[in-house]
Amino acid sequence: MKDLQYVTYVGASPEAIWKLLVEPEGTKQIFFGSVLRSTFEIGALYEYVGPGNDGEETVHVYGNILEYEPYLRMSYTEHPGPSYRENHAELETRVTMTLETVGGCTKVTLVNDRWPEGHPSYESTASSWPMILSNIKTLAETGKTLDFGW
């Protein structure tokens, strides 16, 4: 399966964007009401948890931290939450987010790769990442998120 790769430029500092990616106030706004739970140590578990199939504590995606360099780079394995796919443990991909200062803005690069053949969430993930990245950009630049009509 083809890697998912996205690049966007945000009129905000890497520090401001990083806060949106890891702090509860930011993740709730850009990841559809979910918070990111982890110690962020290499190998540590992480989970995006929020409202969903299992109530307020639904694990939407989970995995292990591979790299964590604040304000620069975060990489992790990713599995769909147990309530979404019975074979969730077998469905592992990798997500890498890189932040780079370019002039007075930040280049955000996201790569979601290592897709196992026939992964059932590929298409929905391919359409979700642009929405998430657009929310990051809009929130960092305006203090508001986009209304996707949900």
Closest CA to 95 of 145, 138, 48: 48
pLDDT at 148: 87
**Mean pLDDT per 10-residue section of the chain, whose length is 150 residues:** 97 97 94 93 96 91 98 97 92 98 98 96 95 96 90
Asked if residue 83 is part of any domain, the answer here is: yes
Asked if residue 8 is part of any domain, the answer here is: yes
pTM for the model stands at 0.94
Q: How many domains is the chain partitioned into structurally?
A: 1
> How far apart are alpha carbons 37 and 55 in whole angstroms?
17
Asked if residue 148 is part of any domain, the answer here is: no
Asked if residue 82 is part of any domain, the answer here is: yes
pLDDT at 32: 83
Helix (H) or strand (E) segment spanning residue 23: none
Asked if residue 121 is part of any domain, the answer here is: yes
Of the CA atoms within 13 Å of residue 88, those in its CB half-sphere come to 14
Q: Domain residues for 64?
A: 4-142
Domain of 22: which CATH number?
3.30.530.20
Asked if residue 147 is part of any domain, the answer here is: no
User: Per-residue pLDDT tens for 2-43?
Assistant: 999 999 999 999 999 999 999 999 999 998 889 999 999 999
Instruction: List the structure tokens of 120.
Output: 């059932």
Asked if residue 149 is part of any domain, the answer here is: no
Distances (CA, A) of 75 to 108, 113, 142: 13, 11, 27
Asked if residue 150 is part of any domain, the answer here is: no
